[in-house]
Structures are given as structure tokens and as C-alpha cells.
Amino acid sequence: MKKVWLSFVAVCLLSLGLSQATFAATRTYTVKSGDSLYKIARKYHVTVAQLKSWNHLRSNLIRVHQKLKLQSSSKNVKTSSSSSAYRTITVKATAYTANSGSGITATGINLRKHPAAKVIAVDPKVIRLGSKVYVPGYGTAVAGDTGGAVKGKKIDVFISSKKKAINWGVKIVKIKVYK
């Protein structure tokens, strides 16, 4: 009788867990005017890469009224608790400003409207867009942009002031890319 009772309790707990996972897969967000993948990712504490993966997006373009799948907050907690896991990469780091071009990054961040944003340009083949990255001397940033000259193990840190960007110069740094 004891084994039957334990089996029943185990089945109930497993089915409860599976039903929550099923519910999580159906949670959606409707894109509003002015939204970007970056803004939505920050709001729900996920990465741009996760949003793109869950929604089978090949680019960062989204449309108003588009429905995006989101993962449940319980799963997000699991993801964020593993964010202490990272890999280190030695890279050449330069700096850029929003003065040239549109000022809007590859992931949709408007650097002119958000001059204090901590954003770096990366080669997506080396560092996934949307990743959280720690850069010594700069701080924790999001890999939110790409650039024509950013190839391989090179990053470009966004600095709003041209003078400060020039003062940054060229550095060889060991960065931490969080998983």
C-alpha cells in the first residue's frame, strides 16, 4: 500500500511539473509600437538570443502586433542562476560612439536615446548577440551590436563621448561571456 501511495504522489507531482512546462510554452507577448527585441528581453530577464530561438527568428526585425513566445519565469530563474557560468576570451577592445550612422544597434537599441547604455559590438560567430559580457575597465554590458570591422576576437565598446572613446584607445582584455 505504501508503494502505491508513493507512486501516486510521484505521478501527481510529475504531472503538475509537466503542466506548468506546457503552460510556459504558450505564454506570449504582443509587440507594441517602439518595442525592440532588446527591450522585450530586458523586461522579461532573458537574452535576445533566447527570444530569437524560441520564436525561430533569423533577424532582429519584429512587427507591431506580432506574438512572441516567452519562457516561464520559473525557467528564467533557472537560467539566471546558471549565469555565474562563463567563458573567458582574450580580445582586442576598441571604442565607438553613436555619432556615425543611425545610432541604432543590430539588436534595436537606440544609443542616441540611451547614451548611458552598456553595449558592445561583437562578431556573432564568436559571441552570441544578446549575451551578457563583463569587460574590465568598462563593466557589464550586453552584446547588442555588430560592426564591419568587428571580426573574430575583437569587440567595440559603446561610449557616448567621442573624447572618452578616443581615450579608451586599443586594449587587449580578458572578457567574461556569461552563458
Q: How far is CA 77 from the centre of its chain?
A: 15
Q: Are 143 and 131 in contact (CB under 8 A)?
A: yes
What tens-digit pLDDT sequence spans the chain (179 residues)?
554 444 444 444 444 443 333 333 448 899 999 899 888 888 887 888 888 888 888 888 899 999 988 875 434 433 343 456 889 999 999 999 988 678 889 888 889 888 999 999 999 999 999 999 999 999 999 999 998 889 999 999 999 999 999 999 999 999 999 97
| pLDDT given at position 1 | 53
Dihedral in degrees, nearest 10, Cα atoms 75, 81, 85, 91: 90
Give the C-alpha distances (Å, rounded to integers) separating 140 from 72, 177, 178. Answer: 25, 10, 10
| CATH architecture group of domain 24-84 | Roll (3.10)
**Cα gap 108→82, rounded to integer Å:** 26
Q: Is 82 helix (H, G, I), strand (E, B) or coil?
A: helix
Domain 24-84 matches domain 85-178 at the CATH topology level: no
The reported pLDDT for the residue numbered 93 is 96
pLDDT at residue number 91: 96
User: Which DSSP string corresponds to 15-73?
Assistant: HHHHHHHHHHHH-EEE--TT--HHHHHHHTT--HHHHHHHTT-SSS---TT-EEE---H
Element (H, E) at 156: strand 154-158
Would you list the domain boundaries of the chain? 24-84, 85-178
**Residue 174 near residue 90, CB atoms below 8 Å:** yes
Nearest to 37 by CA among 65, 75, 68: 68
Q: 85-178 — its CATH code?
A: 2.40.40.10
Q: What is the pTM of this model?
A: 0.57
For residue 6, the one-letter residue type is: L
